[in-house]
Amino acid sequence: MERHHPARPAPAAPTAVRRAAVLGKPVAHSLSPVLHRAAYEALGLEGWAYERHEVDEDGLASFFEGLGAEWAGLSLTMPLKRAVLPLLDEVSATAASVEAVNTVCFPGDGRRVGDNTDIPGILAALRERGIEHAEDAAILGAGATASSALAALARICTGEITAYVRSEQRGAEMRAWGERLGVPVRVAGWADAAKALTAPLVVATTPAGATDALAAAVPSRPGALFDVLYAPWPTPLAAAWSRHGGTVLSGLDLLVHQAVLQVELMTGRSPAPLAAMRAAGEEALHARTT
């Protein structure tokens, strides 16, 4: 008698690998891999990998040349947000408004498309805290993050925006960005930075330690502070702000909200899992401090 054996299932096809990464120098501290990988897991995206690569301006072009068809996108941190512009085929209006790209997508047709998720990320973080407009605002600092903050504030601020800077050159740059964005910017010297703290909305974009001396000048009834740092956290300024009952947003709020938008752009899946990404970021930060 002929025996019939059950058909063996065909071997599963290998999952196609899609790659993404964060580039910058230094980049070892970046939380982006934690956030993006948490999103992939929550979305059930198998075969997606997110890495970090230390790349400076001089190495950026050669890194791009080595990318294959499996690449979906890149997150860019300093010092690459402006250095990448000559390497792109297309730049969104948002990124062009501040000449800063923090996201590059590869749609599969050979193009390199640059975008800026910092600006809508700032707005989304503020909106999450119920801040949809401000009469006046102040920006501490004048770097690339400050220009993104200015672009965000230009959309919600109905009054004056004051930038507190350390040099006249930086002040001229902020005035130029204001003109480009269609919003008047008043520039003040860093010696007067304590006056910024009376604004209804303050965005601190300076490096760690730069605002520590301002903690003693926090008013008794502060408005909202958006401090773009997240490690170490809280900063002395943010801690003093909280003690006085003011609303405080951290760099993690910005990082999570801009990463949500990056995940959506790179994967085509929406909405990205904000809660899962935030939880992963908080867990990673807690692990670094224990």
Catalogue the active-site residues. Answer: 81
From residue 158, give the alpha-carbon distance in Å to each of 142, 183, 249. Answer: 21, 10, 21
DSSP string, 101-126: --EEE--SSS--EEE--HHHHHHHHH
3-state helix, strand, coil in the chain (%, to 5): 40, 20, 40
Instruction: Please list the residues that pair with 279 across neighbouring strands.
Output: none
Hey, what amino acid is at 167?
S
* Whole-angstrom distance, CA of residue 95 vs CA of residue 124: 17
What residues contact 27, with CB distance under 8 A and at least 6 apart?
A: 52, 53, 54, 55, 77
Residue with tokens 């599969």: 108
Closest CA to 205 of 220, 193, 191: 193
